[in-house]
Amino acid sequence: MTNKEIRVRIAPSPTGSLHLGTVRTALYNYLLAKKLGGKFILRVEDTDVQRNKDEYTKGILDGFKWLNIDFDEGPIYQSDRLDIYKKCAEKLLSEGKAYHCFCTTEELDDLRKIQRAAKQPEKYDNRHRNLTEDQKKQFIEEGRKAIIRFKLPDNTDIKWNDEIRGPISVNTSDLGGDPVIMRADGIPLYNFAVVIDDGEMRMSHVIRGDDHLHNTAKQIPMFEALGFTLPSFGHAPLIFSQDREKLSKRKHGEIANIAKYQNEGYLPEALSNYLIHMSWTIPGNSEKEIFTIDEAAPLFELSRISKNPAVYDIDKLNWFNNHYIKEKSLEEVYKMSKKYLEPTLNLSMYSEEQILKMVDAIKAGLNKLDEVPGLIKFFFDENMPIDTDENKAILSTENAKKVLEKLLASLDKLDFSNPPACKKTVDEIGKELSLKGKDLYWPIRVAISGSNKGPDLGLVISLLGKERIKSRIERALKVLV
Ligand code: GLU
């Protein structure tokens, strides 16, 4: 029997920020729900009271909202459901499918040490599975606190047909012994709470990262023991760094944290497109890289998700983001860039029309929106450093001096309202001095913008206007050596 109604979920734990991998898994579930006309549920797995933080929960909810991933049900909080988990544990105990384990931390440590010394896999040896009533009484009298463990079937192959990886078989003897399902304080462990929730919430599919393969093998017997219908399982490959390591905060800093992309001016549609495309291509046209969630949904198939690890590639992500930025109107890009511009530049120095022209000049080259202030900063900064070694080399030639003096003397002739005309005047100066290309443009660019690269020179001259051009050239002439 399977659950007929399509119901899928994403179940983040608020023990850290919203992770890139969680978002990718959420997107695959979201696409599946859309394709099959099912429901997508958000469940916050917040039973780890020591490591949970409200700010993480908030960041997770904000992150999904930012990505325009919406849910049909939830957020459902596991912390509101503790009584349900307790009842299920009691049921399993009364049916002999779970048992109290009184082992102390020291005893378990000793067991592990012995196994390590014998070069055996470390696992719980199920030693309290069949305690007599007297033994239990004795432990209780000693003041020991009991946890609850689930009785896994012995030496049994747990098999399922994985939606992504195909047939899987894991033997129960490789699962570390009977898993703990309840702590002594009545808080359930992940593997138990997740089964009860996926069972009670009638999930048709559980699609998650392939770091959960062994958990699935532990969970399937629990589903059966609790009498729930089994969902269909699918395990997507994890995201690895270029050096083939699992993305982690310790090793890779913030790159796995969605907040980084929110803060740096990535567009949610670019990030979604990139994350889906990492391990999934459109059937019939694997060349097609740019697509929206709505375009991908009707074509989505779990079986097309690659089994190989996905590799994080910032250049590729930037390529997607650049594409989506270019697709936005100038006004939208300006509006979205304001949060980066306002704290750094004195925008009142120019009219909005002029600032729009500046943004327009750099828009096509943007990887992300937080680059905007840096790229147009020179318009606003009369004291920008121009005496770098590279700039000095450009300015210190005889020709550079001639170009700048000539431009200074021609300022009255320039039509500052007309960028192509400004450029033309510069070219005329070049003709008079028999200079062109970098010999002509670079000294001017360095003098007025602090760099030999940048937006269209005519536009830069026109926007800066006569007074700024004059004082900047005079300042540059002083730097000439
Ligand atoms: N809370 C678990 C996690 O964040 C959920 C895994 C699952 O989808 O079952 O890894």
Residues of the chain with pLDDT under 70: 1-3, 481
Task: Say if residues 102 and 136 touch (Cβ distance below 8 Å).
Answer: yes
pLDDT of 251? 86
- Distance CA(165)–CA(303), nearest Å, equals 8
Residue 13 Cβ < 6 Å to ligand 1: yes
pLDDT of 423? 97
Specify the CATH number for the domain of residue 255. 3.40.50.620
Nearest to 312 by CA among 21, 83, 8, 3: 21
Residue 11 Cβ < 6 Å to ligand 1: yes
Domain contains 265: yes
Do residues 279 and 368 both lie within one domain?
no
Range of the domain at 165: 84-182
Domain contains 334: yes
Beta bridge partners of 22: none
Residue 45 Cβ < 6 Å to ligand 1: yes
- Ligand 1: which residue has its CA nearest to atom 10? 12
pLDDT of 1? 60
Q: Give backbone dihedrals phi and psi of 6, rounded to 5 degrees, phi first.
A: -80, 115
pLDDT of 2? 67
pLDDT of 460? 98
- pTM value is 0.93
Task: Please choose from 22, 27, 190, 220 the residue to mutate so as to test ligand 1's pocket, defined by most ligand atoms within 8 A of CB.
Answer: 190
Residues contacting 203, CB < 8 A, separation 6+: 3, 7, 8, 9, 41, 231
For residue 357, how many other CB atoms are within 10 A of its CB?
20
Residues contacting 102, CB < 8 A, separation 6+: 128, 131, 136, 139, 140, 144, 145, 146
pLDDT of 49? 86
326 is catalytic: no
pLDDT tens per residue, range 69-109: 999 999 999 999 999 999 999 999 999 999 999 999 999 99
Domain contains 216: no
Q: Which atom of ligand 1 is nearest to the CA of 45?
A: 1
Specify the CATH number for the domain of residue 137. 3.90.800.10
Domain count, the chain: 4
pLDDT of 253? 83
- The domain boundary, picked from 286, 308, 327, lies at 327
Task: Please choose from 51, 194, 239 the residue to mutate so as to test ligand 1's pocket, defined by most ligand atoms within 8 A of CB.
Answer: 194
Task: State the amino acid at position 416 in one-letter form.
Answer: F
Do residues 314 and 343 both lie within one domain?
no
pLDDT of 481? 59
For residue 150, how many other CB atoms are within 10 A of its CB?
24
Q: Which atom of ligand 1 is nearest to the CA of 208?
A: 8
Do residues 406 and 447 both lie within one domain?
yes
| Per-position DSSP letters for 319-387, written without gaps between them | HHHHHHHHHS-HHHHHHHHHHHHTTTS-GGGS-HHHHHHHHHHHHTT-SSGGGHHHHHGGGT-TT----
Task: Say if residues 65 and 49 touch (Cβ distance below 8 Å).
Answer: no
How far away, in angstroms, is 249 Cα from ligand 1 center?
18
State which H helix or E strand residue 421 sits in.
Answer: helix 419-433
Active-site residue, selected from the candidate residues 58, 87, 145, 249: 249
